[in-house]
Structure 1
């Protein structure tokens, strides 16, 4: 008898050799997609009009912050590894679980929290669909080849855009008639490498934004489908890191962040949306800039002029001395060309490194049609801490040299577990007024204290 693995391999080989039509006489029509790849927006640039409405969706707030409460009562423990309930609903299925009682799944939001979270995810899918097409159309083949990327690599990005058609259709079907439509966008890249770096950052905060709310959705059915979508996006981010010569997965755990963090990072790149587009309730914090951002296109990021980047803006691959440009060296130990995996002999950052910040103000317009406004809670009276969020960790370090809208800190030395430095890959940083104790599941409770 063939093993299950060998059976899968055999079927895979058969499918590759002779593709089969999956429709049968009993099959229904193929479900349509919401947006094709051809008819999407082609206009890109900043918004220059006047907004007709401003601010996020709101309702009367019960309080400025949610008070910490005791843990949920523990109703189950298992110290011996045996079945504790004394019965099984059916053979080979232990007692417990949600949605396992045979009730028909309902794949729609069950609360405002669900709807707004899924709508944010749809805004993310729409920009990714447009972004991947835009990068492919914007740069000639010669520039892609100069960046070390072949026709096969470009087709991979094209297929990622195809994936976004499916993701946007899925979320639109879950949300229903008022699901947000595709918008037009304003991108910060000028070269192929900058496009790829922007893609790996945008897919990073898109993925993390979903991980942050997925376990909180009232609709477990919707969460199940969204998990299958966001797992694909994780693979996209992995691939973009490979295309930019970065180590593809430098962490043990992928971080989740609050919706308002993801929306703050996403909104500046949305130029305009249809006039009746569904608006979001999430907060736009003032933008945070890192004045000495490590530049991944440098062999030694400590040499040359410092990089000043805001939000998810890409590193700049121009203006770098040729001797320090990792994409122009023939030394395999120092190059950053596309590869299955790359190790850097000189790290981009390290514990003890000074990090310098500047930030924007409240009441600045941002996002689609300049119709959202940056804000902070009255509890965020002044920035005192830099909060580094990565993997399972949220670590505060005191800010120093605070003056007007600038400050500095020292990168912390923290590990998730022994052998796993927490500061690796893409970091999320917020400047806060207080340093409440938080864990991955309740990270959003820091939002009332976030200054930027």
Structure 2
């Protein structure tokens, strides 16, 4: 078991880690909602306009600006290395060292120590080094830090933006808000951890541009953001060169998974709707996250990951309807045009908010058993997608791109599977497919939850450990509400 002092001693072995500033936490004596003490986060200064942090009437703090970038980018495109060796990673046979097989069920080799079977990585007694060990590690953890920063700001922003009356109308009492504030505090710890493992080049907090205008839209957006935050880490964590970094990252992402579940509960969705959580490559998560970053500080560390064009799902289920598939077919029930934008909550009829009917209500609850699913096998799903070349991300300094050919398939990334259905093209950058039917094991439906969908030019066979092989074939990426 690590104590604070023993863990700090390990980090001290690499002084560069400690050069990065930790988040600044202050006690806010004006806190309300019945909290014993209020920890509020003071965002760091950012590039662009000077947006101060203010304390709102309800006692929570937030930056005064959450809007789009209005300047001119001084640099564009993802950061690149000295050279690029190939257009894609080749498909190879299994690693020649992957030969171990145990048919007898008992150890085959001598134990290096009592009760210690031979094998494992980082088990030979060497002192752990909690720093990134490769460019892949650095770019992955830097992406994770961008994610932690937006969640820290996002959780606080909603608490500051909405009134006590608005929260109560959405079914959120002071106890719910206290939990959200605690989750924001968790993000300050996660940001500190990842900053320390990166060192002085770690990305700083930015200014963000959010799509929501109601409490329920805020909750819906948070359950989507924490989905790509969680799945984005599961996709790369076992590929990290540093096992020590992966260990600490796993301990933070376990908390992220709980946050995603809680925001689903507060949104009136089933908290656990899959048997296996899905892992996504870094470029998928960055494509979603980057669209909500407005300004970043001068000399901000840039990322190497790709920004894919957006896949717009025109008839995504609306979680605010008691019949969630009775949506408009033109995308108008999504609040905006970005990948993770939430469902419109201010609907004139068919709302499940404050509906006290078993199977149809969608207020905050430990669990709801929906009488009508969010989606279903055979549902016709309508798409439009952007052409590449759009300016996105911090300071509009990244550019969407694709190396794929004409779209021919829809890839559904869910649980242990990447499942393809044929795409029917109906016009210029528009088309449709049908939600597939299938099972992982037993009666576990293959499509469920908040999940990634992609347009691809081929139906390449990939598995959870090598799903990034599909990236050169991705035309556009979106986020689908299934259930």
Q: Deviations over 1:6-40 (max 9, x none)?
A: xxxxxxxxxxxxxxxx999xx99xx9843434321
Quote the Cα distance in structure 1 between the aligned partners of 2:297 and 2:103: 56
Q: Give the SS at the match of 1:451.
A: strand
Matched with 2:75 is 53
Change (3 A) 1:166 1:415: same
SS at match of 2:41: coil
Rounded to whole Å, the distance in 2 between the matches of 1:183 and 1:68 is 38
Deviation at 1:328, TM superposition (A): 3.1
Q: Is the Cα–Cα contact under 8 Å of residues 34 and 172 in structure 1 kept in the other structure?
A: no
Q: Deviations over 1:291-334 (max 9, x none)?
A: 0010011111233534724411111111240xx21113221221
Tell me if the contact between 1:293 and 1:307 (Cα under 8 Å) persists in the aligned partners.
no
Aligned mates of 2:352, 2:154 — CA distance in 1: 25
Q: Which residue of 2 aligns with 1:355?
A: 381
1:342-378 Cα distance to aligned partner (Å, 9 max, x none): 111011100100001111121110000000000011x
| Higher mean C-alpha deviation, range 55-64 or range 347-356 | 55-64
Q: Which of 311, 320, 345 pairs up with 1:288?
A: 311
Q: Deviations over 1:114-135 (max 9, x none)?
A: 0000000000000000000001
Classify the secondary structure of the residue corresponding to 1:355.
Answer: strand
Q: What is the aligned partner in structure 2 of residue 442 from structure 1?
A: 466
CA drift at 1:395? 0.5
Q: Distance in 1 between matches of 2:257 and 2:125?
A: 31
In structure 1, what is the Cα distance between the partners aligned to 2:90 and 2:118? 34
2:424–2:433 contact (8 Å) kept in structure 1:
yes
Partner of 1:391: 415
Matched, 1:39 2:42: yes
Secondary structure of 2:315's counterpart equals strand
1:359–1:405 CA contact under 8 A, matched in 2: yes
Name which of 363, 366, 381 aligns with 1:337. 363
SS at match of 2:305: coil
TM-score after normalising by structure 2? 0.85
Match of 2:447 in 1: 423
State the SS of the aligned residue for 2:312. Answer: strand
> How far apart in 2 are the matches of 1:275 and 1:417?
50
**1:164: how far off?**
0.3
What's the CA shift for 1:407?
Answer: 1.1
How far apart are residue 80 of structure 1 and its match? 1.7
Equivalent residue in structure 2 for 1:368, among 382, 394, 417: 394
Aligned to 1:9: none
What is the alpha-carbon distance in structure 1 between the residues aligned to residue 137 and residue 205 of structure 2?
20
The aligned runs of 1:210-225 (5 Å cut-off) are 210-225=233-248
Aligned length: 422
User: What is the distance in 1 between the residues matched to 2:4 and 2:151?
Assistant: 30
Deviations 1:275-304 (A, max 9, x none): 110000000011111000100111112335
The answer to whether the 8 A contact 1:304-1:320 is kept is no
| SS of structure 1 residue aligned to 2:449 | coil
Match of 1:114 among 125, 131, 137: 137
Q: Is the aligned partner of 1:89 residue 2:78?
A: no
- What secondary structure is seen at the aligned counterpart in 2 of 1:193? helix
Verify: 1:279 aligned to 2:305, yes or no: no
How many angstroms apart in 1 are the aligned matches of 2:408 and 2:75?
33
| Aligned equivalent of 2:186 | 163
In structure 1, what is the equivalent of residue 15 of structure 2? none
Q: Structure 1 residues 64, 402: CA separation in 2 closer, same or farther (over 3 Å shift)?
A: farther
TM-score by length of 1: 0.91
C-alpha displacement at 1:390, in angstroms?
A: 0.3
3-state DSSP of counterpart to 1:159? helix
3-state DSSP class of the match of 1:119?
Answer: helix
Q: For 1:181 and 1:411, how far apart are their aligned partners in 2?
A: 40
- Per-residue deviation, residues 93-112 of structure 1 (Å, max 9, x unmatched): 11111101110111111111
Whole-angstrom distance in 2 between the partners of 1:99 and 1:396: 38
**Structure 2, unaligned runs of 5 or more:** 10-17, 26-39, 45-62, 477-483
